[in-house]
Amino acid sequence: MSKTGVAVLGIFVVDLAFRAGNMPAIGETIAGSGFAMGPGGKGSNQAVAAARAGADVTFISRIGRDAFGDLAIKTWETEGIKPRVARTADAPTGAAFIYVHETRGDNAIIVVSGAADGLSPDDVDAAAEAIRSSRVFVTQLEQPVAAAQRGLEIARAAGSLTVFNPAPAATFDDGLFALCDYVVPNETEAEALTGIAVGDLAGARRAGDALLAKGAGTALITLGERGALFHAPNRSLHVPPFAAGNVVETAGAGDAFVGGFAAALAGGADPLEAARFGSATAGISVTRAGTAPAMPRRAEIETLLMG
């Protein structure tokens, strides 16, 4: 079977983003300075990032039969993403509250998965052919762990490269790591998975060793403004960040990294070069407001890499 493109299993939610100078305390009401509504969800964001970075993308999920679900379909049509998505009237399409600090761009997020919380191994089996034919398979933990595991099992059995973004941090059996060619946590998630603080590169390397010991093929730990650590059994290298302008908003940066990384892998890039591509993708995304709309196009990423 000829393998091409990226298959992403995850969730779609509508992001409701509020900008303000601080988070309100319990019982407090404050005035915000901005509001935006648009497509989100880690899986869908990663699919958009990969598609804009030049990959042929299929997205696997569940959504509701409602206006938010209609927005999901429109988003994927606009981005050229092929949906393998079940629609249900029994649960709403998911939504997320996002607080964004009005000057620093720091964020805090509450996600309700909605219909995607019902994603099951059976749903994944129904989309198995899309996973088997992909060069790269990506999943996260906003949908149930059992669905993520089934996707990784199908991809691994078919010889597809597997990318696991264990976000948000959740409890799962360590056996899942053996299905992962690349596990891509941020600093907080790496510490939650290993118990090792990731305050610097040395800490990231110790956490990377622990993730490899659990069975992951390569640990790719994102470090925010410090870039990322590519930590494999035969090489451990710092992937520097790419400065593309003033930081406006950090929400979605991790998804940009994962989507860009997956797209580069699907295009045949060396894994370390794919990590640099992901870092450049994230570097551009933080200079723009929004989540999925912030994802850059391939030409922009290549220009930053060449600069």
Is 209 labeled as catalytic in the residue annotation? no
* SS3 assignment, position 130: helix
58: nearest Cα among 67, 71, 46, 40: 46
Handedness of CA 64, 36, 52, 162 (dihedral sign): negative
Q: Which of 123, 173, 255, 270 is catalytic?
A: 255
How far is 203 from 254, CA to CA, in rounded Å?
A: 19
- Eight-state DSSP code of residue 169: -
Element spanning 300, H or E: helix 298-306
Q: What's phi and psi for 110, nearest 5 deg?
A: -120, 125
**CA–CA separation, 241 and 280 (whole Å):** 7
Distance CA 69, CA 91 (A): 11
Q: Are 98 and 107 in contact (CB under 8 A)?
A: yes
Q: Which are the catalytic amino acids? A: 255
